[in-house]
Amino acid sequence: MPGFELFGAEERQEVADVMANGFTFRYNFDGMRNGRWKAAEMERMLQDRLQVRHAHLVSSGTAALQTALAASGIGAGDEVIVPPFTFVASVEAIVMAGAIPVFAEIDDTLCLSPEGIEAAITPRTRAVNLVHMCGSMGRIDQIKALCDRHGLMLLEDACQAIGGSYHGQPLGTLGQVGCFSFDSVKTISCGEGGAIVTQSETIYRNAHMFSDHGHDHLGNDRGAEGHPIMGLNFRISEMNAALGVAQLRKLDDILAIQRRHKTMIKSALADIDEIQFRHLPDPAGDNAGFLSFMLPTAARAVEINQKLGSAGVDGCFYWYGNNWHYLKNWQHIQQLKGPAKLPVALNSDLPDYRHIALPQSDHIMSRTLSLLIKLSWSEQAIAERIHHIRRAFGQN
């Protein structure tokens, strides 16, 4: 991770294939395409890879999340349970839909805890957004059972977790709808892009229409298409999808490299007593994009992070102080601040996001470091990285 580390002749050829046409729009205009349909090709590849009936590409992971909510009928006044540790887009999509984000505790999986979800449910709860952070899963069996018991939709935000699985079933396919991101720093990179996957014909039909101004995509004449629903423009271009076609063919190789590199580093740190590795409910299903671990105190986590930075160990993240990935640093979410009045702000009993108390999540995240696993490392580079990490802990 990220997939761009393996950009090569395959990606150049797929992009050149589109350039030979000079036509980048993903729909219609059949006569100009000479049989080239990169977005449709990547969608079929995703369907086969993930064993889902439907996959639909959009312009970003954020667009996938907003489209999934709209396609599932979730909007004004509905509550959606979401973790405080995620990329901020998971929350922004809920807010922009007019729904209400309700934050719940995470556990040592770094994902929503079943107990946290249970405590956050109210009569207005419609869905749980289970974010598979840093490439791995939460306690899915318990969370699925809880959602079924309460009649809640399970939306999987698998934007960081393509290639991950839970007991053999791909992450993103365990709930009613799953979302993926293919931006520049994801496991599979289209430059920009995302996808919605589902077994539901209704959700798929709504998704492909909503993401293209409500077009029904019937027939090959753009001007004759119907507009059954309202929508926006979240279309992916053929250029982005072309990159994705080449990258998706490399997914098994990417996962194998990530897992090998992560295993080498994790094994070399296993004898350091103060390290507690993130709990993985299914270790074999980890996509291995990150190695995450907890230290005894927040002060120790900050100290180790600073030592690693001074030693030139890049790709070490202290998410608790990160502006993009933890609730306490999201001033715009805390204040629901935007250039226009957001529809969610019209709710009279909106939570006060400036004073959300999530002590368990704070305790976990303030002690957590995550090491990015790169594809381009040589064995020598990994050995040097291990040396610097162990030295930061005072180990030989």
Per the residue annotation, which of 38, 186, 250, 262 is the catalytic one?
A: 186
Is the CATH code 3.90.1150.10 the one for domain 252-392? yes
Residue 34: what pLDDT? Answer: 83
| Tokens matching residue 366 | 């303030």
Between residues 25 and 34, the one the model is more confident about? 25
Tokens 């299914």 -> residue: 282
The mean per-residue pLDDT over the stretch 163-172 comes to 98
Instruction: Name the band, by pLDDT with cuts 50, 70 and 90, for residue 75.
Output: very high
pLDDT in tens, 313-328: 999 999 999 989 999 9
Is the CATH code 3.40.50.1100 the one for domain 3-250? no
pLDDT in tens, 184-226: 999 999 999 999 999 999 999 999 999 999 999 998 788 889 9
Residue 35: what pLDDT? Answer: 85
Residue 75 to residues 124, 168, 179: CA-CA distances in angstroms?
Answer: 11, 33, 17
Closest to 103 measured CA to CA, from 374, 391, 389, 360: 360
Helix axes 251-269, 238-249, angle to 10 degrees: 60
The number of angstroms, rounded, from the C-alpha of 89 to the middle of its chain's C-alpha atoms is 9
* Percentage with pLDDT > 90 across the chain: 88
Between residues 393 and 1, the one the model is more confident about? 393
pLDDT in tens, 206-215: 999 999 999 9
- Indicate whether 391 pLDDT > 80: yes
pLDDT in tens, 255-304: 999 999 999 999 999 999 999 999 999 999 999 999 999 999 999 999 99
Domain boundaries, the chain: 3-250, 252-392
The mean per-residue pLDDT over the stretch 143-166 comes to 98
Residue 358 to residues 113, 119, 296, 352: CA-CA distances in angstroms?
Answer: 12, 12, 19, 13
> Which residues does 319 contact at the CB level (< 8 Å), separation at least 6?
85, 325, 326, 365, 368, 370
Q: State the DSSP code for 340.
A: S
Residue 157: what pLDDT? Answer: 98
Q: How far apart are CA 40 and CA 250, in angstroms?
A: 18
The mean per-residue pLDDT over the stretch 102-117 comes to 98
- Indicate whether 382 pLDDT > 80: yes
Evaluated on CA atoms 235, 188, 153, 345, the torsion sign reads: negative
The Cβ of residue 15 has, within 10 Å, a number of other Cβ atoms equal to 19
Evaluated on CA atoms 197, 199, 202, 205, the torsion sign reads: positive
The Cβ of residue 108 has, within 10 Å, a number of other Cβ atoms equal to 17
Q: State the DSSP code for 76.
A: T
Instruction: Name the band, by pLDDT with cuts 50, 70 and 90, for residue 168.
Output: very high
Mean pLDDT, the chain, whole residue set? 95
- Indicate whether 231 pLDDT > 80: yes
Q: Give yes or no for a contact between 317 and 372, defined as CB atoms under 8 angstroms apart.
A: yes
328 annotated active-site: no
Query: For the chain, first and last CA: distance in Å?
Result: 28
